[in-house]
Amino acid sequence: MNELERDYSRLFRLDDKHAVVVGAGSGIGRESALALAAQGARVTCADRDLAAAEETAARGDHLTAYELNVLDEAAITTAAEKLGDVDILVFTAATNVRKRILDYTGEEFDRVVALNLRASFDLIRAFGKHMAARGSGSIMGFSSIRATTVEPGQSVYAATKAGLVQLLRTAAAELGPNGVRVNAIAPGVVETPLTAQIKANQEWYDAYAQKSALARWATPDELAGAVVYLASDASTFVTGSVLNVDGGWTAVGGRFNPPN
């Protein structure tokens, strides 16, 4: 389609598309599922917590709950086969253990890597295989500002998020010739269950808010627009990219505001 044929009034519409959102039971995943459905997509709300997925599905039309444990490779393979043609894959599930490296245990390391990186690897392989065979698709995974900016106590989480970026970029290079686009979204601090520990401490909460140019945290719904954009025809030439949705955190990190 050239620019003379493009209907810009439908640039973000996702009618007749099937999206799978992994981690749709809460937070960014839930808002992503609702936003995709609002643009006309048929959305499978996948989550290990089926009740939470059903709660998301009950909030709008064209939403269906699906129980999926992404730590089970066989379950991911089954889902990719069972759910049929999938045009859009979004995965948000992640965990974090906030400890300094010298205090970390091997079990904790394995737990964070298993969900944040290995599960992502399995999802890309299983769903990307079918997208490549059909010749189209959009995959997006959630990285983090921690892929590029670190702080004490975030070592393994940061390593997995940086690794995820390179995994997604490589998938973009490998699947691009088959018409599949692959991108990363990198949020800043967002009010989700994963950040509840920080939010509960007012001093931490305020300090994190001041790190962004907008001087506040994000809410999960503020990430949904990035998901719709990367899923839609508005981004047909965007792949292998990292879309920062961080309120300017990475632009102004480490800044000093001198007194007037």
Task: State the catalytic residues.
Answer: 157
User: What is each CA distance from 254 to 127, 209, 211, 221, in whole angstroms?
Assistant: 39, 13, 8, 27
Element at 205 (helix H, strand E): helix 202-209
Element at 89 (helix H, strand E): strand 88-91
SS3 97: coil
What token pair was written down for 99?
Answer: 């400890």
Angle at 156 between CA 151 and CA 161, to 5 degrees: 85
Q: Where are the alpha helices (DSSP H) in 68-201?
A: 73-82, 106-113, 119-134, 155-175, 196-199
What token pair was written down for 243?
Answer: 């879309």
Name residues whose C-beta falls within 8 Å of residue 105's C-beta, 6 or more positions apart in sequence.
none
**Strand partners of residue 44:** 20, 64
